[in-house]
Structure 1
Amino acid sequence: MNILGVVVEYNPFHHGHAFHLEASKEKTKADLTVAVMSGSFLQRGEPAVLSSYERAAVAARMGVDLVFELPYAFAVQSADRFAEGAVKLLKAAGATAVCFGSEQGSIDPFLYQADLEKTHQAQLHTLLHKNLGAGMSFPSAYAKAAASLSPDHSLDVKQPNNILGLHYVKAAQRLQLEAATIQRRAAGYHDVEPTDARIASATSIRHMLTSKRIGEAQAYMPDDSAASVTEQLQQTGVLPIWETYYSLLQYRILTASPEDLAATAECREGIEHRLKAAVFEPDFASFIKHVKTKRYTRTSLQRLCTHILTNTSKTEIKDTFENEPPLHLLAATERGRKHLRTLRQRDIHPTVKGSSQWKTDPLSASAYDVHQLAFPTHSRSSAFKQFARMV
C-alpha cells in the first residue's frame, strides 16, 4: 500500500496547496494520504489564521485522509528540527513516501546535496561556524557553506522551500522513506501581492485578508477554505496576526527579568536586553525592526517571540526532543479511520480528544489556549473543547 506523507501548514489552504496535494498523490501513486500539520503557531513564528482543527477539517475535505498535529516543540523551530519531527510522525503514521513542494522541482539535486553534506559533514560544520563567526545569520551562513562544498551544485539552498526540502530528504533517508518533490507554481513563498490569476502564496492571501480585501482573497482559495475564513470573521471579527498578540507579548517581556527571558527557547547572545529596550515600540512591526540584528533574522525573532508569548523554556524544548513526538489526531476521513485501526494494531495510539493532549503534549495544548486569546470571550468556551473532526 502506497501511503503519501505531506508536511503542511495550510495557513490558509489555497489553490496552490490543492495542486501540490493532487500532484503528490499522482507522483507517488498514493492509496492513502497522511498529513502532519503545524498547530497554533507556525514554523516562521507566526500565529495560524484558523485553529488547527479547522484547518485540518478543510484539509480532510480537500482529500487528506488523516491529519496529525506537528507538536509545538518541532513546529516553531528551524528547518532541520521542523523536518525531523514531521518526518518522524509521518513514519509513525505509516507513510511510505514524503512529497514536498520546492522551487527546485526535481528530487535529484536534493539527493545529491544530502549525500554531499553527509560525506563532508565535518567540513560543512567548520565552514558553517566560520561564517557564523563572521556575523552572518544562520540561513546565510549555511547557504554559503553548502555552496562552498560544491561551487557548481544545482540546489539553491537560499530558497525557503528548497532548504526545508533538503531537510525532509535527509530525514526521509534516515527513516527509509521515499522522497519526491513537486515544482511550486506561479507564486513565490514571500510574495506579498499575487502575480497569477488563480494561485497566490499564503503570505499574499493573509495580506489581502488583513487588508480587508476579503473577496479578492477568496478567489485564491477553494470554496471550503474560503468559507472557513469567512465564517470565523463573521462570528469573531478576528483573523490572528502578530499585532493581535502584541500587548500580551509586551506584558510577558515587561514582567520577566532578563534572566527569565534568557532561559526562553531560542534566546541567545544577550538578545533579551534588546527585547527589553524595544518593548515600548508602538506595534509589533516596529518592535521587530528595533530588535533585529544581522545575526537574528526576522523569522528567528518571531519564533523567539512565540516562545516568550507561550512561556516556553529551553529546558522544556530539550525535554520534548528527547521523546518520540506523539500522534495527535486533528481530522480523518472514513478511509483514514480504517487506517487508524491498523496503527493501533502496531501499538500506536493517536490522541483524539483535545483535552487529553495536555497529557501527551502539554506545550501544544498550552499554545492552542494562548492562540485562542486573540478571540472574543464568547467564542472561546467551545474552542477549548475540541475533538478531532471526522469528515
Structure 2
Amino acid sequence: MVDVTVPLTSPELRRRAVDAAAGRAPFDVLLRNGKIADVATGELRDADVGLVGPLIASTHPTGQRNDALKIFDLAGAVIAPSLIDSHMHIESSMVTPRVYAQTVVPQGTTTICWDPHEIGNVSGLAGVRWAIEATKGLPLRILVEAPSCVPSAPGLERSGAAFDATAMTEMLSWPEVIGVAEVMDMRGVINGSPRMSSIVSAGLSSEKFVCGHARSLKGQDLQAFMAAGIESDHELTSKADILEKLRSGMTLELRVSHENILPEAVAAFQELGCVPQTVTLCTDDVFPDDLSRRGGMVHHLRCLVALGMRPLDVLRCATLNAAMRLERRDLGLVAAGRRADLVIFDNLSDFTPLEVFTSGVHAASHGTLLADLP
C-alpha cells in the first residue's frame, strides 16, 4: 500500500538519500535514459533520476550511474512531476474516492483538492468526516476542503444540513482539512451578510486557504470579494474576465469542464506574453464516462497544447504553480529533495502516461493501477 502522507523529515531517510546522491550507496529506483520536463526553467533535457524511498535523491547526466535496486530504461520518455488538480468534486464523477483513485492515478494525477460540497449538502458534518476517512490508504493524495456554502442557495433548496461559522470552525480544526472550499455566496460576501462574514472569518482565523467562486465579478465587486480574504476562482467566463482577475492578483483554477473558455485563456496568456505563476489547472466536475474515456487532468493538458500553449507551460500550471499555491514545497518539481511523485509521459503532445510513481512507489503502469487499494 502507498503511504502518500509519509513525511520527508526523517534524518535516516535524508542520510540515505545523501549517500545515494553522492555515489556512496545505490538508489532504490533509477529512471534511466529519460528527459526531464523542467517546469522551473522551461527546458526539456536529457537526464537520469534516482529515487530513495519517497524522495528524489538525484537528477544527473544520462549514464552517469547504473547502481540501483531497480532500473527503468525509459528510452527517451519524459519524466514530469505528477499532476495536481487544484479544485474538484469527486461526487460529480459519481464514484467513491477509491474508484476515483483507481481511475486517475494511472492517468498521472497523484494530488487532488476535493471540495465534498454535495456530500456535506446531503449528510452534513458526518458526511464530510466520512469523506476524509474514505481518502485514507489510497495512492492518491486527497486534500480535503471544508464546504463553505451548505446549502449553496439558502431558502431555495431543501438540504440535509446548514453549515454556519461553528461548523466551519470545527471542520477547519481537523488536520486533514486544508482550507475553506469555494465560497459561492458572492453577494453575501460583498454585502457583508453576517452568515458569510462569519464563515470567511473562520477560514481566515484558521490561517488556511479561502477559495472562491467569483463568476462574472468585476470592478468594485471583484475587489470587495477579494478584500474579504478570498484568494481564488475557477468560474471564468471570457478573456477579459481572466485578464482582470489575473491583474487583480487572484489565483485562477482554469477548469477543463468548461472547455469553451480554454481558447479565451490561451488568448489572454498570449496578450500578457507569459503564463502567470498564479494559473493552476483543475477538473471541477467530470462525469464518469468522460473521466474514463478522455481522462481528467491529462485531457486538460491535451486540450491546452492543442490550442497552442507550450507543453512545459501547461505542465507548470498543473504541477509547480499548483504546489506553490498549496504551499507544498515537496511537490511540483523533478529535483533532488522533493517528493518522488512522478509521471512518465511518452511525449508532450498527447501525454500518454506510461508509468506513475507516488511517494516513490511504482503505483501505475501503462494505464493499470499497481498499488493495492483498501
What TM-score, normalized by structure 2, do the two folds share? Answer: 0.27
- Higher helix share goes to which structure? 1
